[in-house]
Amino acid sequence: KAGVTQTPRYLIKTRGQQVTLSCSPISGHRSVSWYQQTPGQGLQFLFEYFSETQRNKGNFPGRFSGRQFSNSRSEMNVSTLELGDSALYLCASSAGLAGGGANVLTFGAGSRLTVL
């Protein structure tokens, strides 16, 4: 079955611009989580959506936002880009229900954002 698809794969923006990243989860998965990956910081949790509702949120400023659609596809938006936002943004999907197995994340390839 198809994996987690993220678009675009690469993008370059300048400071002050905004960006929207998209994620299509594995069919049947209702939870989508977003992470920021940078060298030396590992994966930092941004937020998690389940059935169109934000269920968990990390410690990122309000410039980072997301949403989920009825077909479980998710988007994240970063407004007023800063140089420090340059990173690989990873999306992961899971069944999202209670129970250990539902917490297993399947990751996409990521969207690499460069802010100049």
For other proteins, the binding residues (CB under 8 A) are 3, 31, 33, 35, 40-43, 45, 48, 50, 55-56, 58, 90, 92, 96-98, 100-110
* Min CB(1)–other proteins separation in Å: 15
C-beta closer to other proteins: residue 6 or 81: 6
Q: What is the three-class DSSP state of 102?
A: helix
Whether 80 and 16 have beta carbons less than 8 Å apart is answered as yes
* Min CB(98)–other proteins separation in Å: 6
Largest pairwise CA distance in the chain? 43
Neighbour tally for 104: CB within 10 Å: 10
* Min CB(67)–other proteins separation in Å: 17
C-beta closer to other proteins: residue 42 or 62: 42
> Smallest Cα–Cα separation from 67: which of 91, 38, 42?
91
* Min CB(79)–other proteins separation in Å: 23
Separation of alpha carbons 114 and 94, rounded Å: 27
Q: What is the three-class DSSP state of 3?
A: coil
C-beta closer to other proteins: residue 31 or 85: 31
C-beta closer to other proteins: residue 11 or 58: 58
